[in-house]
Homo-oligomer: A and B are copies of this chain.
Amino acid sequence: MGASKSDSFSIEQNEMAGLFKALSHPARIAIVDYLLTVDTCICGDIVEVLPLAQPTVSQHLKELKNANIIKGTIEGTAICYCINPDTIDKIENHFGMIRHKLKNKCC
């Protein structure tokens, strides 16, 4: 085998796992970090900030986009990326749920 048995788990479990997978690579964390350091949605220069080749960065951006963690809007020749706050909300809510259920635990 080797493929994950995603059919055996709930839609929500797969959804959360998908969000975390999108964030499970340091390059993608670095992209999110970078998008947070600039005041507006940023066009392009992400490639120059990362120690990776352009196709690799493009691939990581695609994964973040597919997971709805970032949004990209076309702006002439370039594409402007910014973080999708709705997805941040979704993850925060998940941990809010965990935090809530952790009350009255032995830990």
Residues of A within 8 A of B (CB): 4-6, 8-10, 13-14, 16-18, 20-21, 23-30, 32-33, 36-37, 39-41, 50-52, 71, 82-85, 88, 91-92, 95, 98-99, 101-102, 104-107
Chain B contacts for A83, CB-based, 8 A? 98, 102, 105, 107
Chain B contacts for A29, CB-based, 8 A? 9, 13, 16-17, 20
- Chain B residue with Cβ nearest A50: B8
Give how many copies assemble into the complex.
2
Partner among B24, B33, B88 whose Cβ is within 8 Å of the Cβ of A24: B24
- Chain B residue with Cβ nearest A28: B17
6 intermolecular pairs with C-beta atoms under 8 Å apart: A6-B26, A9-B26, A9-B30, A13-B29, A17-B26, A41-B107
